Amino acid sequence: MGPIKETYVDVLIIGAGPAGLMMAVWMAKCGISTRIVDKRGTKVFSGQADGLQCRTLEIMDSLGFGHRAWRESNHMLEFCMWSPDEAGRLRRSDRIADTTPGLSRFQQAVLQQGRIERFFLDEMAECSDIRVERAVMPTSLTIDEAVVEDPDSYPIVVALRHLTEEEATPKHTTAAANGQPVHDGLFRSNLTKDDTAEMLALSKLNEHAGAEQIVHAKYVVGADGAHSWTRRQIGLSLEGDSTDYIWGVLDIVPITDFPDIRMRCAIHSADSGSIMIIPREKKLVRVYVQLTTTAKVGDEAGSRADRSKINPDIIIAEAQKIMAPYQISYQTLDWWTAYQIGQRVGTQFSVHERVFLAGDAVHTHSPKAGQGMNVSMQDTFNLGWKIASVVKGQTNRSILKTYESERRKVAQDLITFDHKFSRLFSGRPAKDDTDTEGVKMEDFKDAFMKGNLFVSGTSVNYGASAIVAKAEDPSAQRDGIDALSGDERGCLISDQALAPGLVVGMRIPSVKVLSQADARPWHLQELLPSNGRWRVLVFPGNVQDQKQADRLTSVANNFDSRDSFVARFTAADGPIDAVFELLVVHKAPRSAVTIFDFPPVFRRFSDVEGYDYDKIYVDDVSYHEGHGNIYQEFGISEEGCIVVVRPDQHVSYVGSLRKPEAVTQFFSGFMVSQVK
């Protein structure tokens, strides 16, 4: 063997599950030099996490593959609650929309993790040379603390080792989430055509087995699951506890006379426990079954259930008891597992803003709300563009602190929600109004409906920081972690009243608008693909009103001036829209104006490609898809407003057309001047 290979990379991602893949796709979209390694020899093929929340689908859409997930997934439309009637007989006590109408253009859907990983892998391959290096395990990680604040340094050194095929093949019990495949034939039977190349690659692992190499990285993201190796290396831990509830999970093709088996259902039996039913794609149904076993390994508090005593026969037998008098059985079992609810969150999400943890590595909770994979992917969706912009020299390292301030609060909220929802779900239903120990079905329904907004992922509201220009509210960041002081933020505060429907800190809702140039309807979010760009949306109102037209002109003149954010923070030798994209959504009748009625900065001219036709939109009625009424939906008045949207679609700033210079003030708070 020759000398150990040493290489340099901007970003090293450890773990190629959903959180790691989301990070990798961001890096691919932003053109950042990146490696991603995973100790497993292949991707996931069946079972495991599978809920796709509205916001996750919106994010996937922004990455270019939302339509694939939407098309292949099972859509869940209705949530049915079953509980005993007064005679103790199980009946449907209520039914409501599974996703509250109006929250998003997508609704909750279900698809197995293997397909979701496939979409990420395909998208990465489509737009970069980044590939997951499988059967590669990190063996050491050191940080040179002396240089962590130097943006150009590579302070992290990671040693990697190639595993043998045997080492890299999941033992199934250790794969993740306690999963155990039924048998190997089933495991392989879940392969789709897309995945055959993966399996072939597995058999080539041994060519490299045992080889070691050293990687020098600017940033490392540990997305390596609940038992995170990265977390141990950097000395962080999770805090929280477990409950006594033990749940079994079966993915089966059910044979049943239960009429709502294709609905999402919560079934509370009188005294045999509860079931959650999640209908899936390809006739599969996932059932979460509360188990009555209390056998534990060890006696101390917090000890774990003895899962060796749990098997699919036990789980289906419990299910049968809960669902009686309906029958349930199966001949096809795709996957199963058992778990004990544990709710834990990391005390810190990074060290030195150089090594970051994401996903299960910093928060664990029960899977029934379908939150785990979603929140994990959303962690790195938050982190990715920030690291990319720092690596590219566009922004200061200071914005990296907002990863922890923004995402730790979400993790804590999730734990709180999970705690409450799990207890209501696991509890015995109240027999009558006097039964104060039981769970009242009305309370459960109420919690479900309130939780609906939370679990959709669309209610996440990031606290004030350099990149969220709003008034300080320490409680908004839970533990009081303030990303940046008021000084650093230059104390720029949004004028939220100009667009009450567009909450600063939240993701921008999607409403249909029409392209001025070709009358095509677009969902606003479709105009904000995830490519690392900031968007400045100008809502000038009715530009046939001379006052508004004049204001738009002065905004355009400001944006086009030599000391505007565009000129100061965009490299002179790159494309003019490399960092900022300027969009207009006006409210004059579409047919009354053309793009030539708008300032040139919104329809830039190129000698080769002519005018840019994709920057001017209108709030008007479409021929085939109704009228979005975006001004009304966002509560924007005749006065109009300016909105700054982050690369992750969260609203940073809302301000007046009369203060276009505030946009430059905002970006000056964290961006690096490109003027030489």
294 CB neighbour count, 10 Å cutoff? 10
Residue numbers 281-320 binding its own copies by CB under 8 A: 283
- Catalytic residue from among 18, 84, 279, 367: 367
Is residue 528 within 8 A of residue 535, CB to CB? The reply is: yes
DSSP category for residue 627: B
263 or 549: CB nearest its own copies? 263
**Whole-angstrom distance, CA of residue 63 vs CA of residue 25:** 8
Which residue in the set 207, 299, 300, 609 belongs to the binding site for its own copies (CB under 8 A)? Answer: 609
Which residue in the set 138, 222, 254, 427 belongs to the binding site for its own copies (CB under 8 A)? Answer: 254
Residue 509 touches its own copies, criterion: CB under 8 A: no
Which residue in the set 31, 77, 577, 604 belongs to the binding site for its own copies (CB under 8 A)? Answer: 77
Which residue in the set 262, 352, 428, 440 belongs to the binding site for its own copies (CB under 8 A)? Answer: 262
Residue 519 touches its own copies, criterion: CB under 8 A: yes
367 catalytic, yes or no?
yes
127 or 314: CB nearest its own copies? 127
Segment contacting its own copies (CB under 8 A): 111-119, 406-414, 557-565, 608-616?
608-616
Residues 6+ away with beta carbon under 8 Å from 382: 403, 406, 407, 648
Which residue in the set 126, 150, 212, 563 belongs to the binding site for its own copies (CB under 8 A)? Answer: 126
**Whole-angstrom distance, CA of residue 480 vs CA of residue 476:** 8
Least gap, CB of 478 to its own copies (angstroms) = 33
263 or 415: CB nearest its own copies? 263
- Catalytic residue from among 68, 280, 489, 535: 280
181 catalytic, yes or no?
no
Residue 449 touches its own copies, criterion: CB under 8 A: no
What is the crossing angle of helices 372-391 and 54-63, to 10°?
40
x/- binding map, residues 462-501, to its own copies, per CB under 8 A?
A: ----------------------------------------
76 or 220: CB nearest its own copies? 76
Tell me the number of residues near its own copies by CB under 8 A: 47
204 or 520: CB nearest its own copies? 520
- Catalytic residue from among 219, 245, 288, 617: 288
265 or 361: CB nearest its own copies? 265
Which residue in the set 48, 128, 230, 256 belongs to the binding site for its own copies (CB under 8 A)? Answer: 256
Residue 129 touches its own copies, criterion: CB under 8 A: no
Sheet of strand 534-541, all strands in order from the earlier edge strand to the far edge: 521-523, 512-515, 616-618, 580-586, 534-541, 641-645, 651-655
Is residue 411 within 8 A of residue 363, CB to CB? The reply is: yes
Residue numbers 85-114 binding its own copies by CB under 8 A: 95, 97-99, 101, 107
Segment contacting its own copies (CB under 8 A): 299-307, 372-380, 518-526, 666-674?
518-526
Least gap, CB of 54 to its own copies (angstroms) = 11
**Whole-angstrom distance, CA of residue 544 vs CA of residue 588:** 6
x/- binding map, residues 622-661, to its own copies, per CB under 8 A?
A: xxx-------------------------------------
- In angstroms and rounded to an integer, the radius of gyration of the C-alpha atoms of the chain is 26
Task: Give the pairing type, strands 132-134 and 34-38.
Answer: parallel
Is residue 69 within 8 A of residue 116, CB to CB? The reply is: yes
Residue 253 touches its own copies, criterion: CB under 8 A: yes
38 or 612: CB nearest its own copies? 612
Which residue in the set 2, 86, 185, 193 belongs to the binding site for its own copies (CB under 8 A)? Answer: 193
Q: What is the per-residue DSSP string for 465-532?
A: BTTB-S---GGGGTTT--SS-TTTTTT----GGG-TTS-TTBBPP--EEEETTT--EEEGGGGS-SSS
Least gap, CB of 255 to its own copies (angstroms) = 4
Residue 78 touches its own copies, criterion: CB under 8 A: yes
452 or 465: CB nearest its own copies? 452
| Cα–Cα distance list, 668 to 467, 488, 559, 569 (Å) | 10, 10, 14, 9
Task: Locate 391 and state its tokens.
Answer: 């690596």
Least gap, CB of 123 to its own copies (angstroms) = 12
DSSP category for residue 105: S
Is residue 263 within 8 A of residue 233, CB to CB? The reply is: no
93 or 380: CB nearest its own copies? 93
Q: What is the per-residue DSSP string for 529-576?
A: -SSS-EEEEEEEE-TTSHHHHHHHHHHHHHHHSTTSHHHHHS-TTS-T
225 or 521: CB nearest its own copies? 521
Residue 131 touches its own copies, criterion: CB under 8 A: no
Segment contacting its own copies (CB under 8 A): 81-89, 444-452, 495-503, 514-522?
514-522
Segment contacting its own copies (CB under 8 A): 135-143, 349-357, 384-392, 589-597?
589-597
Helix, strand, coil shares of the chain, percent, nearest 5, are 30, 25, 40
254 catalytic, yes or no?
no
**Whole-angstrom distance, CA of residue 490 vs CA of residue 472:** 12
Residue numbers 34-73 binding its own copies by CB under 8 A: 67, 71
589 catalytic, yes or no?
no
Least gap, CB of 51 to its own copies (angstroms) = 16
263 or 642: CB nearest its own copies? 263
Measuring CA to CA, which residue among 464, 467, 462, 461 is closest to residue 386? 467
Least gap, CB of 207 to its own copies (angstroms) = 25
Segment contacting its own copies (CB under 8 A): 26-34, 376-384, 490-498, 618-626?
618-626
Least gap, CB of 514 to its own copies (angstroms) = 8
Which residue in the set 146, 301, 607, 673 belongs to the binding site for its own copies (CB under 8 A)? Answer: 607
Which residue in the set 237, 294, 561, 594 belongs to the binding site for its own copies (CB under 8 A)? Answer: 594
Is residue 220 within 8 A of residue 12, CB to CB? The reply is: yes
- Catalytic residue from among 10, 18, 38, 50: 50
Measuring CA to CA, which residue among 516, 525, 531 is closest to residue 613? 516
Is residue 133 within 8 A of residue 38, CB to CB? The reply is: yes
DSSP category for residue 400: G
42 or 108: CB nearest its own copies? 108
104 or 350: CB nearest its own copies? 104
| In the block, residue with structure tokens 């803003």 | 353
311 CB neighbour count, 10 Å cutoff? 14
DSSP category for residue 620: -
Residues 6+ away with beta carbon under 8 Å from 155: 143, 144, 145, 146, 147, 148, 218, 352, 354
| In the block, residue with structure tokens 């001036």 | 561
**Whole-angstrom distance, CA of residue 614 vs CA of residue 607:** 17
Residues of this chain that interact with its own copies (CB under 8 A) are: 67, 71, 74-78, 95, 97-99, 101, 107, 126, 193, 253-257, 259-263, 279, 283, 331-332, 515, 517-521, 591, 594-596, 607-610, 613, 622-624
Catalytic center residues: 50, 280, 288, 367
